[in-house]
Chain A
Amino acid sequence: DQQVKQNSPSLSVQEGRISILNCDYTNSMFDYFLWYKKYPAEGPTFLISISSIKDKNEDGRFTVFLNKSAKHLSLHIVPSQPGDSAVYFCAASADYKLSFGAGTTVTVRA
Chain B
Amino acid sequence: KAGVTQTPRYLIKTRGQQVTLSCSPISGHRSVSWYQQTPGQGLQFLFEYFSETQRNKGNFPGRFSGRQFSNSRSEMNVSTLELGDSALYLCASASGLHQDNEQFFGPGTRLTVL
Contact = CB atoms under 8 A, between A and B. Distances in A.
Q: Do A and B bind each other?
A: yes
Interface of A: 4, 6, 9, 31-32, 34, 36, 41-46, 49, 51, 89, 91, 93-103
B108 interface: yes
Given A44-B105, A96-B55, A100-B42, 9 more contacts: A6-B42, A9-B40, A43-B106, A89-B42, A97-B56, A98-B43, A100-B43, A100-B44, A102-B42
Interface string B82-114: 000000001010001001101111111000000
A75 to B, nearest CB: 15
Given A41-B107, A44-B43, A46-B103, A96 B48 contact: yes
B45 A98 contact: yes
Nearest to B106: A43
Q: Report whether over half of chain B's contact residues are helix, strand or loop; otherwise say mixed.
A: strand
Contact of A49 (B40, B102, B105, B107): B102
29 contacts: A9-B40, A32-B99, A32-B100, A42-B107, A43-B105, A43-B106, A43-B108, A44-B90, A44-B105, A46-B103, A91-B43, A93-B100, A95-B56, A96-B31, A96-B48, A96-B50, A96-B56, A96-B99, A97-B45, A97-B48, A97-B58, A98-B43, A98-B103, A99-B45, A100-B42, A100-B43, A101-B42, A102-B40, A103-B42
Nearest to B42: A102
Contacts of A89: 42-43
Interface residues of B, number: 27
B71 to A, nearest CB: 20
A45 B45 contact: no
Q: List the 8 shortest-distance A-B pairs measured between CB atoms, nearest first.
A: A43-B105, A102-B42, A100-B43, A100-B42, A97-B56, A32-B100, A44-B105, A46-B102
Nearest to B57: A97
Contact of B35 (A100, A101, A102): A100
B100 A49 contact: yes
Nearest to A41: B107
A4 B35 CA distance: 15
